[in-house]
Amino acid sequence: MPELPELEALRVRLGPRLEGQLVTAAEVSPRRAHLLRYPPESFAHELPYRRFVRTWRRGKHLLFDLELGGGGDLRHLVVNPMLGGRFHLTGGGQPPPATLVFSLRLEGGGELRFLDAAAMSRVYWTPDPARDVPAWTAMGPDADRLPELGLGGFRRRLRRYRDELKDLLRNQAFLAGLGNAYSDEILWEARLLPLRRRATLTAEEEEALFGAIQTVLERSVRAILDHPGYQESKQDRHFMNVHGKGGRTCPRCGHRISQLGSGRGPGREPFNFCRGCQV
């Protein structure tokens, strides 16, 4: 599932290639039309002749701002990729894959495709995400904006909750953009066990968590963008220390990495941690 670092990398890579481009045609796949929270025929009719003006991110959503004419009519294409959503900017001409949700043909001959093998994503076409995207207004600050919040603001926000740390980091009302994978990495970086209760943290551990969130997100975005084989349509997490590595050796202490969760059913994604150096 794409989380904040993957979506931030997409914003960095796709934004400059799309901004200023004119959409000349839009197509919605009948197989995936139910993923649009907007009538598919209206979507296909309204996107053409709009120009990309901005690409941005909010939590686990990637947004494309498109305007018609000289800026008098701005609308937002909001995509929550969920489990299997992927973007692919092609040169055009290739046959669309069976996982296609929608495609936008561009004036220069390219094509922006959104694919979803899991058929779980959510796509919105709206003048106002706060009105039309569920839970938009309930989202907390983006997790990569902690320097603006500061350690004091982070502590005040943190102390509103009683959750286990793993659940807290995945709670979009606490911080937006984190999920199963990066919460594993952050807790490993902070040397905190995922099942610890928030109320058990010392002031030093709160500060360690604050620093770990920033460190992991910055390092991860950099690793994704620096990978020589980067492709926006693929997800590569080769740089992770514990997530998805149950049974392997912890790179910090040499202890065996543990895994909990069956992976069967919502909220049961397997998560990983090290009992040797997380406390």
DSSP letter for each residue of 5-29: HHHHHHHHHHHHHHTTPBEEEEEE-
Mean pLDDT of 175-193: 98
Mean pLDDT of 132-146: 97
pLDDT at 180: 96
**Domains of the chain as residue ranges with CATH:** 4-132 (3.20.190.10), 143-274 (1.10.8.50)
Residues involved in catalysis:
2-3, 60, 268
Nearest CA to 6 among 184, 188, 220, 265? 220
Does the pTM surpass 0.75? The reply is yes
Residue 153 three-state SS: helix
Query: Starting from the edge strand earliest in sequence, which strands make up the sheet with 100-106, in order?
Result: 23-28, 100-106, 111-116, 85-90
Q: What are the CA-CA distances from residue 227 to residues 224, 239, 267 (Å)? A: 6, 10, 30
pLDDT at 118: 95
Q: What are the CA-CA distances from residue 243 to residues 51, 229, 248 (Å)? A: 39, 21, 10
Say which amino acid occupies 213: I
Mean pLDDT of 139-155: 97
> What are 90's two structure tokens?
């092609």
Per the prediction, the chain carries an average pLDDT of 95
pLDDT at 52: 97
Nearest CA to 233 among 13, 19, 77? 13
